[in-house]
Amino acid sequence: MKEHSSYQELKIIRTFIDQVNTASYSDITVKSLTKAAGVNRTQFYQFFSDKSDLAEFICYSFLDEFNSDLRATFNYRNRRELLANLMNAFNHLSDSAETLRALWAINDKSFSPYLIMQESMEDTILECLIPDAAHDSLNKRMLAATFSASAMATIRIYFDNGLREREQIVNNICACLLDGMETLRN
């Protein structure tokens, strides 16, 4: 994926996130987006082929950072380290709240950032946490699928709750993760 860093590109991305957070994704057009961003359509098309391409770029850029945070979170030796890592991950999520809300507001039949993020989390869990688990692959996949779906729902509750109760949510995720890992080890 190409890096986007020019002033016009960043302005388009920022404006798109703002618009998705205040209007329906389906109501946003390239024309309305470029007008709000103060760039012309030619500049937009230098960077993106259409609004779906822009949405996908934002989604996958977010996922690159999210998965990096997730891998760091899963690098722990004990419960205390896992709790600290989870708290750090939730701090990063809070910093990215506008982007995440915008991505989850995208309602497109062929593109669901929420489901893409959940599947990506599931893959990262399989890769990082349970590559050498003793049980069969069905148990591994079930834990990864269950945990990722639960974690996504928990993150959504956290956002819907105004980014409050972080400590309680982190403790719940930690307990679920440790219980699931213990189940695989037995």
User: Could you tell me if residue 11 is inside a domain?
Assistant: no
> Is the pLDDT confidence value at 37 over 90?
yes
What angle is formed at CA 30 by the lines to CA 58 and CA 59, rounded to 5 degrees?
A: 10
User: Could you tell me if residue 43 is inside a domain?
Assistant: no
User: Could you tell me if residue 14 is inside a domain?
Assistant: no
User: Could you tell me if residue 38 is inside a domain?
Assistant: no
pLDDT digits (tens, 9 = 90+) for 101-135: 999 999 788 889 999 999 999 988 888 876 665 55
> Is the pLDDT confidence value at 34 over 70?
yes
Kindly report the three-state secondary structure assignment for every residue of 20-54: HHHCCHHHCCHHHHHHHHCCCHHHHHHHCCCHHHH
Give the percent of the chain with pLDDT over 70: 91
User: Could you tell me if residue 8 is inside a domain?
Assistant: no
CATH number of the domain bearing residue 84: 1.10.357
> Is the pLDDT confidence value at 96 over 50?
yes
User: Could you tell me if residue 19 is inside a domain?
Assistant: no
CB 19 within 8 A of CB 28: yes
Domain boundaries, position 117:
50-185
CB 99 within 8 A of CB 17: yes
User: Could you tell me if residue 75 is inside a domain?
Assistant: yes
User: Could you tell me if residue 96 is inside a domain?
Assistant: yes
Tally of domains within the chain: 1
pLDDT digits (tens, 9 = 90+) for 135-173: 557 777 888 888 889 888 888 888 888 888 888 888 888
